[in-house]
Amino acid sequence: MKSRNLILLLICTVFLQLSLPAQKKKANKSDGGERLDIKFGKITASDFDLSKEKFDSGANAVIIADIGDAKFEGNSKGDFSLVFTRFMRVKILNKNGFKIADNRIPLYHSMDGRNEKLSSLKASTFNLENGAVVETKLDEKSVFVEKYNKNYDIKKFSMPALKEGSIYDISYTVKSDFYSRLNPWSFQGDYPRLWSEYQVTIPTMFHYVMHMQGDPHFDVNTSKSVFQTFTVRESNGASSDDVYNISSNSMQQRWVKKNVPSLKDEPFTTSISNYLSKVSFQLHYIQWTETSERHDFLSTWFIACDKLLKDEDFGLALDKDNHWMADELKGVTGDCKTYDEKIHKIFCFVRDNFTCTDHDAIYARSSLKDVYKRKSGNVAEINLLLIAMLRHEDVLADPAILSTRDNGFADQSYPLIDQYNYVICIAHSGDKIYKLDASQPYNGFGKIVLDCYNGEARIINKDKPYLINLSPDSITESKLTTVFIVNDDKGNPSGSFQTTLGNQESYSVREDVKKTSEKDYFKKIQTVYGSDVSIGNQEIDSLTKFDYPVAVHYDFDLKNLLAADVIYFNPMMNEMYKNNPFKSLERHYPVEMPYKMDETYVLNMDIPKGYRVDELPKSARVALNGTDGMFEYLIQNNENSIQMRVHLKLNKAFFPTEDYSTLRDFFGYVVKQESEQIVFKKIK
């Protein structure tokens, strides 16, 4: 802390000491909140019995207590530090719960040498043996450090002597010089929690934006003013240190949730982490007194973009020292006549010649030249290389950062860069804008994978840091299937099947075939049909033409169709929805479909020779919430043939919780209708 700020703090001290008596009296009042009497290592045989506690009977482990505390203290650098302490007690219920005992503590460090430090780590496992509690302590040598990225190291350790029924305690402290990084707290997660508590004590000069997520109910929710004195020491080199005692009111907030259920995945949920009960903080500003200068910490996207573009691990290399690309790109763009051609060819070159080793990164770990030499890199490295090559060829291109679906939503209100985990390229050609991702090996030009459609991406441009819409509501997955069934010269029914897939399903087919083979792909289809149908003349079109949709074609024989006097035949040919994707009676989270949907199925069928139609499903039309979607099932027959057209369409991808029942009923109707069969009877 600079001397000017220390003077301000001293002024603040005098001000607070003069105005404090009434407030100090208030701070001594009890907040009335219930507290848990629990201490590290204080375990008796009775603590192993949780039969009276209420939690999910199917849980593999249960968190008995998870208690966190964040507060400030003066340090020896003329500034303040954040001190975060945590105590956790867990019981392992079965072997499937051992995973919770793998612990990871992230520690942040900056490029200027400041870092977070872990101290006072204690961890012990307790087992009940012959009625006695036996403790096994964690060996310090079993704690490992993993370098996660440029700003994070991870302290990793696993609890020793684990058995079914074990209890373990963990306690540690993290001291941090980054008071802009006040620890968030999750009251909920993968395992049930009997007691989850967080207390935060913030001096009044620090102002944070607090964000609450999930269930707003707390068993304890208190707030009170407390009086604190901080000792701040500032080194003067050879001279004696300056020591300041700074007094301040602080706001202490405490939250407790009891008997918190675990989060359970439900179908069509983008990321369950978006809905857990959580509190997080962002430093807004520091103001030492009501009349002193205000120091803002909440950055703008203009400032954040400028910093990212000057970061040597992100944007600095996009335009710098890339003359080496000239020779490399001659053979790629030499015959291009338009910018569109350049963009297309450079994209295909990077996509087809570089392998992505990590799809969870926004920073480069190597220089772009090194990435080029080894022909591999993380998603940031590959797409930053793509951008640099485009810029080298005078194409306007920018990086865009986003948070993938499995990473959860990113808050667009403030530039919280840690919430982002993916980089794509935005290229411009006249009025056209192309979204490009060369890290995915089967991506077509101008297409990105489904996991990127999670709200919005932020263009990293210091003058125009605008948003790109990547909502699932912005894409439609279309599918057209046509089936023809005819009677051959001998009167035996046979047919042809062809389906043209949408972008996302095309990607999945390409990925599936790459992992196995076309033969295995069609073998799965044959298995689904069983012995009553035999398929042949199989073909997959555009398997390696990534700019086009995949089309799957095969012929088939219905060899056992005419074996009975009465034939039951489902005209959907295994293309129907066999089960309702929404099985639960109730839904706790919104339904987040991956895209809008437009599926059409067409059947033209000769009536089997020697048979007549005895029963035909009825045609039907039904709407979903007026204009949210529709299902149309049209079928008719004449003397010799049957024509059928089934059309399922969803006009939006996001459905709030209150729409769940209607959506569930809609798909229930689809499943029922598509299971209807045609009944043929032999003519006698």
Residue 666 CB burial class (10 angstroms; 0-12, 13-18, ≥19): buried
Q: Do the Cβ atoms of 137 and 127 come closer than 8 Å?
A: no
- pLDDT at 467 (0 to 100): 95
Query: What length does the chain have?
Result: 684
- pLDDT at 152 (0 to 100): 86
- pLDDT at 238 (0 to 100): 61
Distance (Å, whole) CA 164 – CA 181: 37
Q: At what angle do helices 339-353 and 379-392 cross, to 10 degrees?
A: 150
- Distance between start and end Cα atoms, the chain: 100
Task: Give bridge partners of residue 44 from the DSSP assignment.
Answer: none
DSSP 580-593: -S---S--SS-EE-
Task: Give bridge partners of residue 132 from the DSSP assignment.
Answer: 129
- pLDDT at 23 (0 to 100): 30
Residues whose CB falls within 8 Å of the CB of residue 206, separated by 6 or more in sequence, listed in order: 72, 179, 283, 286
Residue 446, sorted as left (phi over 0), alpha (psi -120 to 50) or beta, turns out to be left
Tokens of 73: 């203290």
Tokens of 230: 């901080």
Classify strands 611-615 and 422-429 as parallel, antiparallel or unpaired: unpaired
The SS3 of residue 226 is strand
Q: Do the Cβ atoms of 204 and 274 come closer than 8 Å?
A: no
Tokens of 44: 């008796």
Distance (Å, whole) CA 196 – CA 258: 6
- pLDDT at 568 (0 to 100): 93
User: pLDDT digit string (tens) for 507-521?
Assistant: 999 999 999 999 999
Q: If residue 508 lies in a helix (H) or strand (E), which one and from where to where?
A: helix 503-515
Q: Do the Cβ atoms of 472 and 596 come closer than 8 Å?
A: yes
The SS3 of residue 233 is strand
- pLDDT at 20 (0 to 100): 32
- pLDDT at 237 (0 to 100): 66
Residues whose CB falls within 8 Å of the CB of residue 442, separated by 6 or more in sequence, listed in order: 507, 510, 511, 514, 546
Residues whose CB falls within 8 Å of the CB of residue 89, separated by 6 or more in sequence, listed in order: 38, 63, 64, 65, 66, 167, 168, 169
Task: Give bridge partners of residue 10 from the DSSP assignment.
Answer: none
The pTM of the full predicted model, rounded to 2 decimals, is: 0.82
Residues of the chain under the 70 pLDDT cut: 1-32, 237-239
Residues whose CB falls within 8 Å of the CB of residue 171, separated by 6 or more in sequence, listed in order: 40, 85, 86, 87, 88, 120, 121, 122, 123
Q: Do the Cβ atoms of 561 and 679 come closer than 8 Å?
A: no
Distance (Å, whole) CA 15 – CA 377: 56
Nearest to 398 by CA among 313, 308, 327, 472: 308
Distance (Å, whole) CA 200 – CA 288: 19
Residues whose CB falls within 8 Å of the CB of residue 366, separated by 6 or more in sequence, listed in order: 374, 377, 381
Nearest to 351 by CA among 425, 460, 459: 425
Q: Do the Cβ atoms of 407 and 421 come closer than 8 Å?
A: yes
User: pLDDT digit string (tens) for 251-276?
Assistant: 999 999 999 999 887 888 888 888 88
User: pLDDT digit string (tens) for 155-188?
Assistant: 999 999 999 999 999 999 999 988 888 999 999 9
Distance (Å, whole) CA 376 – CA 209: 40
Q: Do the Cβ atoms of 387 and 315 come closer than 8 Å?
A: no
- pLDDT at 25 (0 to 100): 31
Residue 310 CB burial class (10 angstroms; 0-12, 13-18, ≥19): exposed
